[in-house]
């Protein structure tokens, strides 16, 4: 599915982050770069509802959602069998979270400071078997 979206249409993205300033900045950046942000939520419960209602192609999930865990949310979204690809985001360095990221059902990780449409698309291409090469700040697809 991602391969078709990457080639023929705009990606539809849901942002899950408890920092409204960051969410708004990320939304503006991604929309300027050709990704449609269909929603922004700040809690796991709202993320699950929005994922079901909005059917985004990709869900960006902050690993720290206040009292909640973005890793737990990624598991929950996977358990609910949403077709969306989950990408974890954080201000923390990827190497600090590498073990937890690799055990997650997320397709990978993008540092908040390196977030871009290219980073998202590269990660989705790498994860869908089309041979895309992830850029430096993006982890490779998890071995599922």
pLDDT of residue 100: 81
CA distance 70 to 137: 19
CA distances in angstroms from 74 to 33, 47, 116, 117, listed in the order given: 25, 10, 20, 20
What is the predicted pLDDT for the residue at 127?
A: 63
- Cα–Cα distances (Å) from 65 to 15, 117, 123, in that order, read 12, 22, 22
Q: For the chain, which residues score pLDDT lower than 50?
A: 1-8, 129-144
Q: Which helix (H) or strand (E) holds 78?
A: helix 70-79
Structure tokens at 16: 């899950």
- Rg from Cα positions in the chain: 13
pLDDT at 104: 87
pLDDT for res 135: 32
Question: Domain segments of the chain: what residues?
Answer: 12-114
Residue with tokens 């899950």: 16
This prediction's pTM: 0.82
Please give the Cα distance from 104 to 143 (Å, whole number). 10
Q: Which CATH architecture has domain 12-114?
A: 3-Layer(aba) Sandwich (3.40)
Instruction: Tell me the angle at which helices 44-54 and 70-79 cross, rounded to the nearest 10 degrees.
Output: 40
């Amino acid at each position: 599915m991602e391969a078709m979206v990457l080639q023929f249409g705009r990606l539809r993205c849901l942002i899950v982050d408890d920092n409204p300033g960051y969410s708004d900045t990320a939304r503006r950046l991604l929309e300027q770069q050709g990704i449609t942000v269909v929603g922004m939520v700040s809690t796991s419960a709202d993320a699950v509802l929005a994922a079901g209602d909005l059917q985004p192609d990709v869900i960006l999930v902050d690993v720290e959602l206040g009292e909640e865990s973005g890793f737990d949310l990624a598991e929950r979204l996977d358990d609910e069998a949403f077709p969306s690809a989950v990408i974890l985001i954080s201000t923390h360095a990827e190497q600090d979270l590498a073990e937890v990221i690799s055990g997650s059902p997320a397709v990978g990780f993008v540092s908040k400071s390196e977030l871009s449409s290219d980073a998202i698309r590269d990660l989705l291409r790498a994860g869908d078997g089309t041979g895309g090469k992830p850029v430096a700040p993006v982890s490779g697809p998890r071995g599922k």
